[in-house]
Amino acid sequence: MLDDQQCDGIMVFFPDPWPKKRHHKRRLLQADNLRLFVKKLKAKGYLHIATDWQEYAAAIQQEAAKVAELQIMPL
């Protein structure tokens, strides 16, 4: 519903980690969705993600690494 390059930033706070392996396909923060978020961001826009589950944080970083347009900031 948002036009491309419309958002200054997108914030995702504590998305459901879907911890069981068979449910990982339901995770919000996968490469395809991250690419969609990037399309909606203005130049120099930001994507802020917060989670309190270390394993999910590592999985998000792996997915973000697949998106060339994202610059990953250290934790």
Nearest-5° Cα angle at 14, 9 to 15: 90
Q: Could you list the beta-strand ranges (E) of 7-40.
A: 7-13
* Partner residues linked to 9 by β-bridges: 46
Q: What is the pLDDT along the chain (75 residues), one digit of tens a residue?
A: 899 999 999 999 999 999 999 999 999 999 999 999 999 999 999 999 999 999 999 999 999 999 999 998 876
Q: Is the pTM of this model over 0.95?
A: no
Query: What local confidence, expressed as pLDDT, does residue 63 receive?
Result: 96
Handedness of CA 39, 1, 9, 63 (dihedral sign): negative
Residues annotated as catalytic are 16
